[in-house]
Structure formats: C-alpha cells, structure tokens
Structure 1
Amino acid sequence: MRRYGPALLLVVCGAAVLRISLFSELYLRYVQTGLRPYLIVSGLLLLVLGIVGAAVAMRSAKVDHLHEDENEDDIPGHDHGHGPGVAWLLTVPAAALLLFPPPALGSYSAEREAAKYAAQGIGTFSALPEGDTVDLTLSQFSSRAIYDRGRTMKGRTIRMTGFVTKDDDGTWYLTRLLVSCCAADARPEKVEIRGAYAPPTDSWVSVTGTWHPKGKLGSDAAWPPVLDAGEVKHIKPPNSPYEKR
C-alpha cells in the first residue's frame, strides 16, 4: 500500500481543491474571487499527477512481482518499504478539506488582532451617491469617518453588513475581515454600533443608521468609528465573507 501512498495523497488533495473551487463557492472562505481559476487548474493538475502516479506504481508493482523471488534470493534483508509512514499524516488536512471544509474566519480572529489606525493625513472624499440610504462597506465607512475633511457622511443614512463581535463591557461591533489575497493575511475592520441591542456573536446582520462623529480626524481617537443604529436585521452569511483591502 505504501507504493500508492504519494499518488493517493495527490488525488485526495486535488479532489479537495476541486471540491471547494470547481463544484462550490467554498473557496471564498479562504481566498479572493480572482484566485478561483488558479485553484481549479491546481486541483486538476494534482488529480492528473495522482492518477499518473498510481498507474506508474501499478506497473512497477507488476514488474517487481515478476522478479520478487529472484530479488529476495540475491539481496539479503531486502525490504520493500517505500518511505516513512508518517507521510500519511498529510492526508488528514486534505481529507478534512474534502469532507468538512472549515468555516470562514470570525469573531475569534477579529479579536486576536485589534486594528489600530496610526495618525494619517486627512483628505477630501467624493460626495456620496444620492438616495435615502447609501450602502457602504466597513472599510469605506471607516475611511470617511476617520479621514474625510468634508464630512460627507454627516446627516446621511448608511447601511452596512457584517458579523457581530463584542467587548467584555457589552460594547458590540459590526465587523468584517479584510484580505489582500487569502484568509492568512486577514485584518479586522469594525464599526461600533450604538442605540441597538447586541445580536449573538458571529451572527450576520445588516445595520442602518447615521454616522456618529468621534475623536479628531486622522487620529487613533477616531477609531473605531461609530454608527448610531436605527435598524438591525439578521441576514444569511454571504458567499464571500471578506472585504478586499
């Protein structure tokens, strides 16, 4: 069985990658949308290499079987081992990804790395779109709240979506994780929510409200920005849980 170990490992890894990228959108829990084609190609390549490796191992096994008696007579202590058994442990994470894909990062990851905004130069932002309610990402809201000299959000109704995180004192936040490439480089972005009840941690909600100015523009005192909530709605987790930096 050791003879087929490397081939089997390649097949399992390839199947796992294709399971999350080609046959579902689970890959969005781990990487950005643009990386999907690369995942599919990688999965197919691993699968092909595994099949080819199994075919080569099968052919080699037939040849070895024909000469088994002769080889054992000529080589004292002949051993048919083909590599350390510990390599089989590599199948565990691959099988887990294939059968039980881990969930997207949530409140635990966000709380481990509390983002701090060092003082930066304030600037001018373009006016918000017309309409009763403006949809913004958390990073867009935070940028305007902390650095917008023109205070373009003042008096406007803003709507954002994210998952819930909480402090020990009961303060709760609308949170998203920002990624450049994949979940490994995720950084939390959060907005303090005031004037509304705190939903369960990690639940996904849509919050509508108005910006509450806080601290001096361009300083750490302005972070995290605050939203005075008018409405909080529970929503289903999105297919793509991360915001792009």
Structure 2
Amino acid sequence: MTDLYLRYVQAGLRPYLILSGAMLGSLGLVRGALAVRAARTGAPGAEEYGRPAEDGPDHGHSHAGGPRVAWLLALPAVALLCFPPPALGSYSAAREEARRAEEYVGTFPALPADDPLELSLAEFGSRAAYDSGYSLRERTVRLTGFVTTGDGGTWYVTRLRVACCAADATAVKAEVRGAEAPETDAWVTVTGTWHPRGKLGSAAAWPPVLDAVTVRAITEPSDPYEER
C-alpha cells in the first residue's frame, strides 16, 4: 500500500484498510471460484435459482447478460485506483466557516529554546490568539502548509486538520506578510516572526500573522493533514 491513502484517512486506520481490502478480495475470489466450478460441472449458478425453466411458458428472454452487468459496479473502484483524486486543498479551506470552539485566554507550556521553532499551524494559531504569556514574542517560527489567497493580495499558509478522515476536515491558517504569494495550492515552508494584532481571544486576533523572512517551495508531504 502506498501513502495515497493518507489523503483520505488518518495513518492509524491503515490496518483496517488492509483488512477490509483483503476481506473484499477474498469474497470476490470465492464468488469467482464458485461461478467457474458451476460452469465446468453444468450446475446452475446462484443467480439461476428461482427462474423459469428455459423451455417453460414463462421464459421469454435470455439471461446471458444479466449477472455480467454487475461487473460494471467495479468501474468506479478501478477509476479511483487509476486516477486518485488529490488531497483536499484551497477550495476546501475556503469553504470552511470561521467558527472555532470557544477557547479561553491563558498561559501555555514553555516552548523549546531552539530557533526556528517548528510548529503546526494549529499550535501557532492557538498561541497567537490565546496565550497570555506571549510565548511567540521575539521567536522565529517555521510553518508548513499549502497556499490559499484572500482579498487584496492577502495570502495564507494553510493546513487541514482531520480527526478521522477527509470528510471531517477543518482549516487552520496563518496570514503571511512581507513576501509575494506563491501559486495557489503550492506547498511551502515559511520562516518568520509572529506579528501580534488584536486583543487576545477576540476575532481581531484571528487569523494569526507571520512576518516572513523566507518562503521555500516544497513538495506535498505524504501526510498532508494535521491531526486534531
């Protein structure tokens, strides 16, 4: 199994995907083996029980193509295997409403002394908006995500957070200032310093702002989501 499954579900669900795939494959092999054996022995297949006899008065059409139509159900699965859809991106983030669970201003645990600080966008946003100890002040921060844009040339480094799978994804982002916006949906690592704004805990403090020092293009990571 490749890392493509990480576009849709959390890494911890990998064993269940493998198990369910193996079970479905086994069922398909068993059904195929039964059909082959029935064809060789001349015994009626499961789909023939309950039908009128070939020479009966109620038999007026052929059943040769009936069961074979069921194979068309495999086409969507084959299409997904051959052309896997991309991970959720800027469109999903743009559709995310600016609603966040109520949080209270308070102190946060101390940050490591190393610079630059490698933070998730969720942690950066929480500390920027709610940390009364201002632990991000005068610290160099490094954030990684994909590019989304707003009005007036504003752009953001953005990440989607999932609890279970892509269906429950929610967006977290930070506004980037001091650097030109890369192409939308491009993955970047931005290094810079926190730009305080607004009263802690207020809507004016969101989204957090990063004054960029460097913006480096990267390839999309194998696991594009942040865990909740």
2:64 is equivalent to residue 64 of structure 1? no
2:14 is equivalent to residue 32 of structure 1? no
Tell me the distance in 1 between the aligned counterparts of 2:148 and 2:72.
35
What is the identity, as a one-letter code, of the residue corresponding to 2:220? P
Alignment partner of 2:91: what SS? helix
Tell me the distance in 1 between the aligned counterparts of 2:110 and 2:174.
21
Give the CA deviation at 1:114: 3.5
| Matching residue of 2:169 | 186
2:73 is equivalent to residue 73 of structure 1? no
What is the identity, as a one-letter code, of the residue corresponding to 1:74? G
Q: Of the candidates 79, 104, 124, which is equivalent to residue 107 of structure 2?
A: 124
What is the identity, as a one-letter code, of the residue corresponding to 1:212? H
What is the identity, as a one-letter code, of the residue corresponding to 2:43? V
Check whether the contact 1:117–1:223 (CA below 8 A) recurs between aligned residues. no
Q: Of the candidates 20, 42, 46, which is equivalent to residue 24 of structure 2?
A: 46
Give the CA deviation at 1:159: 0.3
Normalising by structure 1, report the TM-score: 0.83
Alignment partner of 1:64: what SS? coil
The within-5 A match list for 1:104-115 is 104-115=87-98
| Matching residue of 1:204 | 187
Q: Deviations over 1:196-215 (max 9, x none)?
A: 11100000000000111111
Check whether the contact 2:145–2:189 (CA below 8 A) recurs between aligned residues. yes
| Matching residue of 1:172 | 155
What is the identity, as a one-letter code, of the residue corresponding to 1:181? C
Check whether the contact 1:120–1:219 (CA below 8 A) recurs between aligned residues. no
Which is richer in helix?
1
Check whether the contact 1:209–1:231 (CA below 8 A) recurs between aligned residues. yes
Give the CA deviation at 1:26: 0.6
Tell me the distance in 2 between the aligned counterparts of 1:187 and 1:88.
37
Alignment partner of 1:205: what SS? strand
Give the CA deviation at 1:74: 3.5
Distance change in 2, residues 1:117/1:215 (3 Å): farther
Gaps of 5+ in 1: 1-21
2:77 is equivalent to residue 99 of structure 1? no
Check whether the contact 1:119–1:220 (CA below 8 A) recurs between aligned residues. no
Tell me the distance in 2 between the aligned counterparts of 1:226 and 1:163.
16
Percent of paired sites with the same residue: 59
Normalising by structure 2, report the TM-score: 0.89
What is the identity, as a one-letter code, of the residue corresponding to 1:165? T
Alignment partner of 2:109: what SS? coil
Tell me the distance in 2 between the aligned counterparts of 1:216 and 1:118.
17
Give the CA deviation at 1:95: 1.1
Q: Deviations over 1:141-192 (max 9, x none)?
A: 0010111110101000000100000013210000000000000111011100
Q: For this pair of structures, how many residues does the alignment match?
A: 219
Give the CA deviation at 1:121: 1.3
Alignment partner of 1:122: what SS? coil
Tell me the distance in 1 between the aligned counterparts of 2:18 and 2:102.
42
Alignment partner of 1:63: what SS? coil
| Matching residue of 1:243 | 226
Tell me the distance in 2 between the aligned counterparts of 1:241 and 1:163.
9
Tell me the distance in 2 between the aligned counterparts of 1:216 and 1:240.
34
Give the CA deviation at 1:45: 0.6
Tell me the distance in 2 between the aligned counterparts of 1:201 and 1:143.
24
